[in-house]
Every structure is written in C-alpha cells, then in structure tokens.
Structure 1
Amino acid sequence: MNGLVLRDDVGPVTILTLNRPEKLNALSPELFHELRGHVDVIAKEGTQIRCIVVRGAGRSFCAGADINALKAGIVMEDREMRSETLERLGRMKQAVIASVHGHCYTGGLELALAADIIIAATDTTFCDTHAKLGIAPRWGMSARLPRRVGPAVAKRLSLTSEPIDAHEALRISLCDYVVSSERRDTFTMGIATNIATNDPSSIATIKHLYENSLAVSLDEALAYERQYTSSTVLR
C-alpha cells in the first residue's frame, strides 16, 4: 500500500487510514500534508460522501506527533497547517468517526477529538503527554478535551500524563463505544453506514448548531437555532 494516508470509499462512507504502521502512525509533516489533501478533496465532493472514518494501520491508531522530526527541528513552512487541518476535519459537514486502537496518544488524541464520535477497541490506551514532553498543545487539546470530559478531568489527564484504558475512557465520556478488537472495524462500519442513511443537510445543520451552542449562552443558542433553521422545514 502506497501513501501515508489511504482513502477507501465504501458507498457513501470514506475511510481514511493513517499508514505509517512501523512508526505507530506518528504524525509526520508528510502525513499531515496527505491528510489535509484528503480533507480538502472530500469537502469539495458535496453530499456524495456522508460519513468519514479515520483509523490507523497496524498496531495503533496514532502514537502522536513524530518526535524524531521534532527533535531534528523540522519546521513546516506553514506553522498553523497542522492545527488548521484538524480544525477543518472537525468542521466537515459530514459526520466524522475516529476508530481507535492501541496507542491514542497526544497528537493522535487531538486527531481523535476532532471527530464527532470515537469508537475504541478494548486494547486502546489514551494519553496526553504534552507535559511529560515539555511542550504545549497546539492542535486543539485545550479546546476539545475539556468539552469532551469536563475541565477537571481534562486537567487531571493532561497534568499527570497518565494513560487510561478504553473502559475508563468510556466512563469519563472520552470515547462513545468500546468494542473488541475483532469487532471494531465491523462495528465502526455499522455506525457509519447507519449515519450515511440520514439526511446530509440535517447532519450538517445539527453539527453546526451543536458547535455554536458551546460558545454562547442557552438563550442565545435557542434564539440562534430558531433563526438558523427558520428557512428549513424539518418538522
């Protein structure tokens, strides 16, 4: 298989597979460029694709940023490209599922957090090692992790750098499902296929409204919902 990010379309579902298994799918600059390319292409394809699955090849989903590249001082021409790529993924009109297993560490966790739904195999270990490595998050951890699990739990995970297993992740709402490694791909495709049967404009609207509601008061969110959907007859 060629490419650092592979794309496979199964009907209206697109599967993006991180493909550096020998490096536990560490996020190198080259891998980020390929991921960005796929995200941009899918965004232009309209409603042909209705659900996106992000997964990893080999033993892990993603062990995080490519530490060797960081130590070598490799700097991307566009410093914001990596964070903007995850922002674009998170703002896709399609539903995005992260199907994780093995390592889901730091940058890999930030990638998973950009998804709408996280499905974890029982062998998954989640961990934020920013503090252990002496670096600050730039790809969305400080914004998305507290929204997922609450600020107190987010601080505990990030300040201790302690790994947690899939069942603890489910308990604190860091993931949405835990399934056996053998069932993960089949289970993920079942969820993705189910989502793909729903109306794509409704999916896009719901995602937009939920994201907006996090940034404003309840009254503002209610008013915005009425205003935004006033031209759409949903019910």
Structure 2
Amino acid sequence: MTAATDTPTVRTEENDGILVITIDRPEARNAVDGATARALAAAVDRLESRDDLMVGIICGAGGVFSAGMDLKAFAAGDTPIIEGRGFAGITRGGTRTPLIAAVEGYALGGGTEMALACDMIVAARDATFGQTEVHYGIVPPEGGMVRLPERIPRNIALELLLTGDPLPAERAERFGLVNHLTEPGHAVQRALELATGIAHNAPLAVAAVKRVVNERRAFSDQDAFVEQDRVVAPVLASHDAREGARAFIERRPPHWQGR
C-alpha cells in the first residue's frame, strides 16, 4: 500500500485501485466527531473524483470499527452530521463507487449505520453490530430504520431496533447482512481481497451494476428494465465492452480504459 493524505483522525491508503479509509480515534473507540466526519467526507470525495480508484474500504483503527457518534463532542455542540451527506459524511450521500465496510470489534449506533451505508460488509467473527438508540430515548435516523429492514428480515430488524439488543457478526452473516466472516484481525485483508476482485473489472460495467441495483427499488418491474437499459446502453457500446470480447478471444487479460 502507498500512503495518501492523512488527517489527525482519518488515515487513507491506496492499493491497486482501492482506497482504504481508516477512522483513527482508537482512544474514543473511533466515535465520530465533526472533524472526523469532515475528514471522512473528504476521503469519499477523493474516491469519487478519481477514475483510477475503483473500490473504497472503510474500517477502524485499534480493533474497533466505530462506537458511533462522539456524544461528548455532540453535547459540546460539535455535530458529526454533514448537510446533504448525513452522519460521518456518508450515510445519506450515496456513492457511484462500491464501498466495503471492514468491521472489527464494535459497530454500534452510527457505526452500524455507517456499515449499512456501504454496499458490502466483511466482519470478524467476534464483531458486534447494534442499534442501541432506544436505550437512550432516541432512534437511529441515519439508516438504521431505513436500511436494516432491507438487508435482513423485517421482523428481525424490528426486534433489534425495538430492543436495542446487539447483533453478533455470526448471526448477522446468517441473515445475509455480512458477506464474509473472518478470524479476528483479518477483516481488512478479506475486504482487500473482495475489493481486488471488483477492481480488476471494467470500470463502466462496475458503476452501471451498482447504479441499476441501487435504483431498482424506485421502479416497477417494467420501469426498472427501461431504466436499466438506459444506464447499460453506453456500457454495451463502450471501448471496454469490445476490449473484453477481444481479450476473451485472444486469451489475454483485458486492458480497461473506462470508456
């Protein structure tokens, strides 16, 4: 990996088309304050602006993903919510680039909502998710109530949201929330392997797949196919589509140009 620009609370590293974004506040269990939210948003902006970066990975330092909002900072008037982008600058903004959450230790409250904002989740076997907000008289407005019932059975999501009980990673994997389980300490490595499998593919095709899948919920079946065809037509007519066919015929690796 090669180091990229860092801030006091967020580190980034680039590796063959993959940007690893690390929340680096282990002394606060990687809870997110305003500065951290702005740094995360800036890292995501770099991911989105660079054609050579194909996948992003979000993780936490010190064996913890994130304990969510930094309540001490919030009580002092420092908010980790960015207008138009939500908690930590990622829960409401959306990205065209695939995002993978690599979860070690705890992902609680906003930490779970950050993971839910990602397209895929890799987690250590001993990791724990949880929307504990009801214990404190509040609710999870940054994706917990919206995304969790879409990612696991509705009745299980309601149980977790209404009780505030923790969701162990192994149970989350059985429900389909977690793509891959790893031994403790290996979530980032497995996420890198998953990201590498994505980054080797044609950029236009990867972007089109994510867009169509994410936008599918907004359309009926008939309208979904119409919208899909509109998004996919430029991909099928692209240089990379022809290159993929030629590479297959010539039995060589394809050379993608993103056009």
Same fold (TM over 0.5): yes
| 2:255 aligned partner | none
Q: Name the amino acid aligned to 1:141.
A: G
Task: Please show how residues 48-63 of structure 1 align to structure 2 within 5 Å.
Answer: 48-63=52-67
Partners of 1:87 and 1:60 in 2: CA distance = 19
Q: 1:85 aligns with which of 65, 89, 102?
A: 89
What stretches of structure 1 move > 6 A for 4+ residues in a row? none
Per-residue deviation at 1:116? 0.9
Per-residue deviation at 1:219? 2.2
Q: Determine whether 1:40 maps to 2:74.
A: no
Partners of 1:200 and 1:212 in 2: CA distance = 18
Distance 1:2 1:86, change over 3 A: closer
| 2:216 aligned partner | 213
Deviations along 1:34-82, whole A, 9 cap, x unmatched? 111111122222x210111111000310011111123334347955553
Deviations along 1:68-124, whole A, 9 cap, x unmatched? 1233343479555534821466x3222111000100101001101111110000110
- Which structure would you say has the larger Rg? 2
| 1:122 aligned partner | 125
Partners of 2:167 and 2:80 in 1: CA distance = 31
| TM-score, normalised by the number of residues in structure 1 | 0.91
Given that 2:7 and 2:39 are in contact with CA atoms closer than 8 Å, whether structure 1 keeps it comes out as no
| 1:132 aligned partner | 135
Given that 1:83 and 1:140 are in contact with CA atoms closer than 8 Å, whether structure 2 keeps it comes out as no
| 2:9 aligned partner | 4
Given that 1:94 and 1:200 are in contact with CA atoms closer than 8 Å, whether structure 2 keeps it comes out as no
Q: Determine whether 1:67 maps to 2:67.
A: no
SS class of match (2:63): coil
| 1:199 aligned partner | 202
Q: Name the amino acid aligned to 1:153.
A: I
Relative contact order higher in (CA < 8 Å, ≥ 6 apart)? 1
Task: Please show how residues 81-160 of structure 1 align to structure 2 within 5 Å.
Answer: 81-83=85-87, 85-87=89-91, 91-160=94-163
SS class of match (1:191): helix
Distance 1:122 1:196, change over 3 A: same
Partners of 2:230 and 2:84 in 1: CA distance = 33
Deviations along 1:167-195, whole A, 9 cap, x unmatched? 10101112111110143232221111111
| Aligned-pair Cα RMSD in Å | 2.1
SS class of match (2:86): helix
Partners of 1:216 and 1:86 in 2: CA distance = 24
The total of aligned residue pairs comes to 233
SS class of match (1:137): coil
SS class of match (1:232): helix
Q: Which runs of 5+ in 2 are unaligned?
A: 1-5, 246-259
Partners of 1:13 and 1:73 in 2: CA distance = 35
Per-residue deviation at 1:30? 1.1
Given that 1:39 and 1:88 are in contact with CA atoms closer than 8 Å, whether structure 2 keeps it comes out as no
